[in-house]
Structure 1
Amino acid sequence: MADSHRNAFENAQRQFDLAAEKLNLDHSLRRVLRVPQRELSVNFPVKMDNGEIQVFSGYRVQHNVSRGPAKGGIRYHHAVDIDEVRALAMWMTWKCALVNIPYGGAKGGVIVDPTKLSQSELERLTRRFATEISILVGAEKDIPAPDVGTNGQVMAWFMDTISMHRGYTVPAVITGKPVEVGGSLGRVEATGRGVSIVAREAAKHLGLRIEGATVVIQGFGNVGSVTADMMQRMGSKVIAVSDVSGGYYNRRGLNIPEMIAYTKQHRSLEGYQAEGIERVSNSELLEIECDILAPCALENQITEENAGRIRCKLLVEGANGPTTPEADDILFEKGIFVVPDILANAGGVTVSYFEWVQGLQEFFWTEEEINNKLERIMQHSFESVLAQTLKHKVSMRMGGYMVAVARVAEATQIRGIYP
């Protein structure tokens, strides 16, 4: 689905450079902030169910920790590479700063297709990877979370592994855990909920009625499916969704609860059928005329090749880095209002922060309290980005980067350079 010819880290650095220029940031500070602070690359053996030993490669990158401990997910995907992880870590730095939570950015990944592993193989891989990167992680220094290809169970194994090493339970070392072992209520839905909140706020700004608005969503994993469900609950009409099996389009609207139930049973939408559905490719899906388009899959989905054919009024980035800088320029010229990833999908890390705080103090909030706190943070963050955007007459992405980069730069300057 992603364009493998594009380097995600180069895109991330270019986005930073543009914001740094707009902020007239000191060049010494630019050199510090445009590269990761710390990178760990590991190659580790895992015993497979048939007794064979396979060696897997993985990474953990910390981009910046000026505002607090590093925070970022762990991705299991066959296309993971070091530059992708670097980019994701950098985006996490800006995302945490944008919603003003006390974290720096990090990311991790293992080069593996998790669907080809048994549950026991997946557990052994997770525990070994957790051990390999344990020199970096900790509740006070680097807190991983789920990402593409990982889930609450994987996080539980990760937390248990670190806890076994320490000799006592350390719930705050990881977020996105099941509630039964210290996870937070509302965490699973948090990213998709955040996407739908900022979509609603952006629609309000544009004078677009959210009730009856047509919505297209690329990706039907945790983020995409929750976004689809939330948008439908708001009264929008979800007309197309897609996953690895392709796209499913019905101009009259899709039965999202039925499709979610199907994926829970079959692990994807492969084989799903319903009256009136047309099959489209993932690339065709992005070009369907609609009010709101939400790319919630992988990076580099909207490029200079297809940006001119995008036909939406509002684009809300549920995925990390789905739009290239070149495509950004085209969309801006077309008058498409883009809510950038560092704002749109920040609901997940926000509730991860709530989970971390609850784990540290061993005191838990209700789901209603979690959702209300998330709502306030997402609304306030949208308003701060919009204000910067209107003040400087720039895109929402540039407005968001200006807010986030300025906060990280200020923290870095105040702390100074050691020694």
Structure 2
Amino acid sequence: MNALAATSRNFKQAAKLLALDSKLEKSLLIPFREIKVECTIPKDDGTLASYVGFRVQHDNARGPMKGGIRYHHEVDPDEVNALAQLMTWKTAVANIPYGGAKGGIGCTPGELSISELERLTRVFTQKIHDLIGIHTDVPAPDMGTNSQTMAWILDEYSKFHGHSPAVVTGKPIDLGGSLGRDAATGRGVLFATEALLAEHGKGIAGQRFVIQGFGNVGSWAAQLITEAGGKVIAISDVTGAVKNINGLDISKLVNHVAENRGIKGFNGGDAIDPNSLLTEECDVLIPAALGGVINRDNANDIKAKYIIEAANHPTDPEADEASHILIQTNCQLKKNILSKKGVLILPDILANSGGVTVSYFEWVQNIQGFMWDEEKVNAELRTYMMRAFKDVKEMCRTHNCDLRMGAFTLGVNRVARATVLRGWEA
């Protein structure tokens, strides 16, 4: 099932639990605006190359639309639509005053020089500058983009609208970025994991973790989990995977990846098949890479007790969906694969919301013209993550559902209420 179908399926299940009016349900599902632009740039060798860029603005009932821009060769309209919709529910779950959006360019950033990436980013910004803005749509980094990308967007946007640091988040500190932003998604994963484990009388210390993905999110999550006493026993990235049952030395692995541009060749553990990583014996599995990696083909073999979704949409509904809802039904619905195994999943719209939460803090700092210290940023992030977990658990109790549906009903309900309060009519 592709990402858009899976996300829409979760939304529709939440809408059914909430007994939403059918017209309101349809209105919430349809994006506010979809943008598709051609970006033609001169390459360093003098030839011209064209790339297709997208920006989907899903909903603005609760505030300016918010979401990352990714550079990846598999970017397509369905993926961007799905991720924009997820951002709408994610910002609502985090209870920050944003809607949802997402963008991307279909390219392979590793094959482009720095100057080519800059030209591509500036052309893309030229095509969408009049449709984004401080109180309209605020982009951020995502897969294949970073703080430098945001700096280029800020500079190009400011040529048309004047100096506007709040138009993007995830910027360099020197241009108005927030302290703590780089680690925010990984730190949010840590806080969310702590909250889930505490529900079962456990803590991070002593738990065995397996992490798929060692980019910004996975690497920070690994470092922070290790600092908290957890044991990261296996990690993978696009170059390979490594395992050490006694725990990997994450600091050395970070240095190795910086020097060698990948995990492959790291001598602090045994090389393993990346395809087997998800089924390694562990307490907590953290998929922090691409979507759809946990599916009906491998779900039966997963040995983790808990899955923390640090990536967007890493679990296919056929492996895990909110199918064991008893209230409002007269029969026991068939449980899915992971439910039968007793695996608890903390869904992405809660687990990886740390990044957008600190993006909100950055936006607030830019508007106020006042910079927070990192201690305040991290303390506020913990408060928001713990409150969001508590709110999701309350929805689980109200609707007798699992954590995924608890999160979706929470997010969808908040957006629906805002939509109606602003004057929506059936």
Same fold (TM over 0.5): yes
Q: 1:268 and 1:131 mapped to 2: Cα distance?
A: 34
Q: 1:346 aligns with which of 346, 353, 361?
A: 353
Segment drifting more, 319-328 vs 264-273? 264-273
Counterpart of 1:203 in structure 2 is 197
TM-score (norm 2): 0.95
Q: How does 1:297-376 map to 2 (within 5 A)?
A: 297-328=289-320, 329-376=336-383
State which of 253, 263, 288 in structure 2 corresponds to 1:259.
Answer: 253
In structure 2, distance between residues paired with 1:164 and 1:266: 38
Structure 1 position 307, deviation (Å): 1.1
For residue 44 of structure 1, what is the aligned residue in structure 2? 39
- 1:108 Cα deviation from its structure 2 partner: 0.2
The aligned counterpart of 1:158 is 153
Contact 1:217/1:224 (8 A) holds in 2: yes
1:9 aligns with 2:1: no
Question: Separation in 2 of the partners of 1:159 and 1:418?
Answer: 37
SS of aligned partner of 1:135:
helix
Query: Contact 1:332/1:395 (CA < 8 Å) preserved in 2?
Result: no
Alignment match, 1:379: 386
- Letter of the structure 1 residue corresponding to residue 416 of structure 2: A
What is the DSSP-based 3-state SS (H/G/I as helix, E as strand, rest coil) of the residue aligned with 1:326? coil
**Counterpart in the other structure of 1:3:** none
Give the aligned residue type for 1:382: F
The residue type paired with residue 375 of structure 2 is E
What is the RMSD computed on CA atoms of the aligned residues?
1.2
Change (3 A) 1:209 1:371: closer
Residue 313 of structure 1, CA deviation: 1.0
Gaps of 5+ in 2: 321-335
Q: Distance in 2 between matches of 1:285 and 1:142?
A: 37
Alpha-carbon distance between aligned partners in 2 of 1:390 and 1:158, rounded to the nearest angstrom: 43
Q: Which consecutive unaligned segments of at least 5 residues does structure 1 have?
A: 1-5
CA distance in 1, matches of 2:103, 2:405: 26
Structure 2 counterpart of 1:62, from 52, 57, 62: 57
Give 3-state SS (helix, strand or coil) of 1:238's partner. Answer: strand
Distance in 2 between residues matched to 1:272 and 1:49, nearest whole Å? 34
The CA deviation at 1:418 is 8.2
CA deviations on 1:185-211 (whole Å, 9 max, x unpaired) are: 000000000001111111111223421
Matched, 1:75 2:70: yes
Q: Distance in 1 between matches of 2:378 and 2:204?
A: 20
Identity %: 49
Aligned equivalent of 1:289? 281
Which of 164, 170, 180 is 2:164 aligned to?
Answer: 170
Encode CA deviations 1:16-54: one digit per residue, 9 max, x unaligned. Answer: 011111111110111011221110001121111001110
Contact 1:317–1:341 (8 Å) recurs in 2: yes
The one-letter amino acid of 1:48's match is: K
Q: Equivalents in 2 of 1:145, 1:418: separation in Å?
A: 33
The answer to whether the 8 Å contact 2:240/2:262 transfers is no
Q: Cα deviations across residues 107-138 of structure 1 (Å, max 9, x unaligned)?
A: 00000110111111111111111111112111
Instruction: Say whether the 8 Å CA contact 1:93–1:105 is kept in structure 2.
Output: yes
Match for residue 326 of structure 2? none
* TM norm structure 1: 0.96
Equivalent residues of 2:41, 2:50 under 8 A apart: yes
How much does 1:309 deviate? 1.1
Contact 1:75–1:149 (CA<8 Å) still a contact in 2? yes
Conserved 8 A contact 1:194-1:375: yes
Deviation (angstroms), 1:265: 2.4
Q: Residue type of the partner of 1:110?
A: I
Aligned to 1:251, the other structure's residue is in SS state coil
Query: C-alpha distance in 1, partners of 2:112/2:16?
Result: 46
- Cα deviation for residue 164 of structure 1 reads 1.3
The alpha carbon displacement at 1:407 in A equals 0.3
CA distances 1:42-90 after superposition (whole Å, capped 9, x unpaired):
1121111001110000100011110001000000001111100000000
CA distance in 1, matches of 2:263, 2:383: 34
